[in-house]
Amino acid sequence: MDNFINEPNIKLIALDMDGTLLNDKGEVSKGNREAIKEAQEKGIYVVLSTGRSLRTCREHADSLELTSFLVTVNGSEIWDDKRELVERNLMKADLIQWMWELSKQHDTKFWAISTERNWFNDMPEDLHSFEWLKFGFDIDNDEIREIIKKELQSKGEFELSNSTLKNIEVNPLGINKAKGLKIVCERLGIDMENVMACGDSLNDIAMIKEAGLGVAMGNAQEIVKETAEWVTAANNEDGVAKAIRKWALGK
C-alpha cells in the first residue's frame, strides 16, 4: 500500500531490529549497513527502536556506529548517544509475578526483562528484589494465546503487542515505541512528522502511526502493512536500505 502523497523531509529514521533491520540470520546486511552510513553522513539521525534490551542491541548499534539515541524494550528504556539512561519505565513486580503464574497455569514458554538481565523460561527466587521492564509469552496454541490475551486485557494495566505471530509482549500501559521516539525527538528538536519508522510487528504499529512516514516490511504482519503509508521489501531483501534510499536519500 502506498498512501503517501507529499515528499517527506526525513530527519530521523527509526528502525525495529528483528524482522526489520536484521535478516533471518540475525545479521545486518551490507546493503542496510551502507544505506545507514549514507543517511548518517547526510546528517540524518538513525535510532534503533526495538523490543530488545540494551544488552542485546548494543553490539549492533556499535557496529553500525550509530551516534544517536536508542529506544529499547519497546520504549521502556531510552538511552542517549553515550549509552547513558535517559528514561526508564518499570513494571510492578506483583504484575510480573501474576504473569509468571499465568504462564505456569497454561504451561507456556515465557521471557522477562529486568534492568539487570534477561530471563528465559526461568525466574529468580525473589523476583520482588529486581526491577522489571517487560514480560513476554511464547505460545504455539492459538486458543491458549487468545485466553491469555483476554486475561491480560482484563487487568487494564498493560500495553500489549507482539514481535512474532506466536508471542505476546507486555509493557506497562502507555509505554510503546512511539512514546519513546517522541521523547527522543523532543531532545533533538525534531517533529514526529520528520520521522520515518520501519517495522514488521504489532510492537511497531504505534511508531508507524505516529511517524510522518510509516514503513512496513515486505514480511510484516498484514495489519502492519495496512497501517503503514508504504511497504518496502522484506528483511531478507534489504528492505530497510530500499526505504532509506527512496525516502531519506532520494535515490
Catalytic residues: 16
Beta strands in 50-148 (DSSP E): 70-72, 77-79, 85-88, 109-114, 118-120, 132-138
Burial of 19 (0-12, 13-18, 19+ CB in 10 A): buried
| β-pair partners for 34 | none
Q: CA angle, corner 24, sides to 18 and 27, nearest 5?
A: 75
For 251, the 3-state DSSP assignment is coil
- Indicate the DSSP class of residue 248: I
